[in-house]
Structure 1
């Protein structure tokens, strides 16, 4: 039986956060984070955000839509968690939040000091996207961890080479 003193300190374990969504570039970010976690003995953390609906007067309809979005987000998190587990052999840390996606990323990074790197994918041949643009304006003032941008044009083999 292993001694508790031999167990790794969870505060020293590198945690690579990926924002979960259905975009193609997210799969590159997940692969990068998974490979980095695998090579460093770290873990992947996944964040999905359910954004509130804007159906003020139609509260019942808005609630149904938000419930559907939450189920979709949970399904996405579980699918991504399986993939992260296959790469790393460790269960990822799952975060599910409600609110504005950009703001919730910043809040999580401020609250969870175990996260050591934010990994975001960029779309093929386009601008960085709303999350990257928002985060760049908050780096240093409220985000105190490195951010890695994984180009959407990278192949899985190229990602493996750089990780």
Structure 2
């Protein structure tokens, strides 16, 4: 259960959150979330989660790999936030976390009481729509404590703009 959202109270605004990763469809989610934020006077939060399982090496190597992963995450977030600023005209908050993606999404939603909607994009690969989108189907319907909007990966920018 999520704590009460503050996004409708004075001094707050509703935020849309999109999760960045190395999939091509994540940019669909970012665009939709950014357009919804702009069109509703809300905010945009971009989250990148570094999975800790990637760092199972000797301590020195592990620290170097972790630092490189965080640098890459920050670089991807900066590029995405820059594209949003240039093409849509809003600034995004960027957050890098380390841990399980689902756990870190839930933790950030709990910490930022203005996040009201999670935006994900479905993949079009033959192995399914992706782990986060799969998590909301069936038994995982309560995987996230706020409403989730799922964007089809094959929507064009014009389609997304018309829908948002």
Residue 143 of structure 1: CA displacement? 3.4
Post-superposition Cα deviations, 1:86-106, rounded to whole Å, max 9, x if no partner, equal 344332111111111221112
Q: How far, CA to CA, are the matches of 2:87 and 2:41 in structure 1?
A: 11
- Does the CA contact (< 8 Å) of 2:122 and 2:152 recur in 1? yes
Whether 2:159 is the aligned partner of 1:158: answer yes
- Does the CA contact (< 8 Å) of 1:106 and 1:135 recur in 2? no
Whether 2:122 is the aligned partner of 1:122: answer yes
Moved segments of 4+, more than 4 Å: 135-140
Q: How far, CA to CA, are the matches of 1:81 and 1:158 in structure 2?
A: 21
Q: How far, CA to CA, are the matches of 2:90 and 2:35 in structure 1?
A: 12
- Does the CA contact (< 8 Å) of 1:37 and 1:88 recur in 2? no
State the match for 1:42 in structure 2.
42
What residue ranges of structure 2 are gaps of 5+ in the alignment? 1-8
What residue ranges of structure 1 are gaps of 5+ in the alignment? 1-7
Residue 129 of structure 1: CA displacement? 1.3
State the match for 1:14 in structure 2.
14
- Does the CA contact (< 8 Å) of 2:49 and 2:96 recur in 1? yes
Post-superposition Cα deviations, 1:10-37, rounded to whole Å, max 9, x if no partner, equal 42x1211000112110111011111111
Q: TM-score, normalised by structure 2?
A: 0.83
* Matched residue count: 153
Larger Rg: 1
